[in-house]
Structure 1
Amino acid sequence: MYVRPATSEDRVALPALHTAAVEAFGPDSYDADEVRAWAKADDRSPDDYNVAAPNEHFTVAVRDGEVAGFGHLVLDLGEIHAVYVHPDHAGHGVGSALLAELEGYARGRGCSTLVLQSSLNAVGFYEQAGYERVCEGESPGGLAVVEMRKEL
């Protein structure tokens, strides 16, 4: 496995990966209606992943020749917007590798603190990586989340 910056060609794989991750891991903490709304299976498009956006950083993990996960960082906000791993590649360090790359990228751009809104099913993953709970809240879509923070 290796991690690299996402390319415009990678965008094609991201909607299905994103939806598959939500559908596989969301039910651990959310009911069927919440998972369905979060997954947006019919509404995701490669255009939703602007890998060339200024002051943002998209990264992908490639495993066995395919995109196994992706991460998204918004530098202006010092915020991790996404770390998603396809369920076929879960448990192989993909999420940890993506998160480490996002943190390293942020650190290299002078960011000293990162924040994120964790889905309930991912709180343990982020805590293991050194993030601390700040408060509970809701995502813009109304999903219960935990706001978290880490000093780099």
Structure 2
Amino acid sequence: MNIEIKKMQSDEEIKGKAYVHWKSWQDAYKGIVNQDFLNSLTLEKCEERAFKWPENTFVAKDNGKIVGFSCYGKYRSEELSNTGEIFAIYILEDYYGTGVGQALMQAGLGELDYPQVAVWVLKDNIRAIKFYEKCGFRFDGREEELTLGTPIVEVRMIKDKE
């Protein structure tokens, strides 16, 4: 394994990010998110989204192949005005536990000049919650209901930056 973390730049990297997004949803959310919704999430839809919002993204490459990504920026609403956010962090299942997720998290956090950072995670995504806790995030009590084929709850976690 020869992992490189870098800012996403090329169309090839954007397509790689889209694949990781699509594949990660199929693997990580099976049994958590409605299967009809997962079936409707196509690689083409992920690619369209990746090209629409290419900024503020790091990719993890293993010998040139995109195996993960993280997206970051200012928190999505004024509710937490001086807060950054990790909008997404996904890695291919084969790279779980290898440190790739930690490296992508650190890259994103390094770009956020805020006293605290938030992430939103599906309440039933225990693997992701454990990962975020390992990164220093804690629940702050905020929940929202989403509809991903059927209603599902996402929870917010906050990390104070050192």
Fold shared per TM-score above 0.5: yes
Stretch moving more, 85-94 or 40-49: 40-49
1:137 equivalent to 2:144? Answer yes
Code of the aligned partner of 1:88: D
Corresponding residue of 2:61: 62
Code of the aligned partner of 2:98: H
Given the superposition, is the C-alpha separation of residues 94 and 25 from structure 1 closer, same or farther in structure 2, using an over 3 Å criterion? Answer: same
Code of the aligned partner of 1:22: W
Shift of residue 36 of structure 1? 4.4
1:37 equivalent to 2:37? Answer yes
Residues 43-76 of structure 1: CA deviation (Å, up to 9, x unaligned): 5243312223xxxx11101113211100001225
Code of the aligned partner of 2:144: G
Q: CA RMSD in A?
A: 2.1
Following superposition of structure 1 onto structure 2, how do residues 28-107 of structure 1 map, counting pairs within 5 Å?
A: 30-31=32-33, 33=34, 35-38=35-38, 40-41=41-42, 44-49=45-50, 50-52=53-55, 57-75=56-74, 77=76, 78-106=84-112
Corresponding residue of 1:150: 159
Q: Which runs of 4+ in 1 moved over 3 A?
A: 139-143
Percent same amino acid at aligned positions? Answer: 22
TM-score (norm 2): 0.77
Gaps of 5+ in 1: none
Gaps of 5+ in 2: 77-83
Corresponding residue of 2:81: none
TM-score (norm 1): 0.81
The alignment of Structure 1 onto Structure 2 pairs a total of residues equal to 142
Cα pair 1:22 1:38 within 8 Å, conserved: yes
Cα pair 1:132 1:149 within 8 Å, conserved: yes
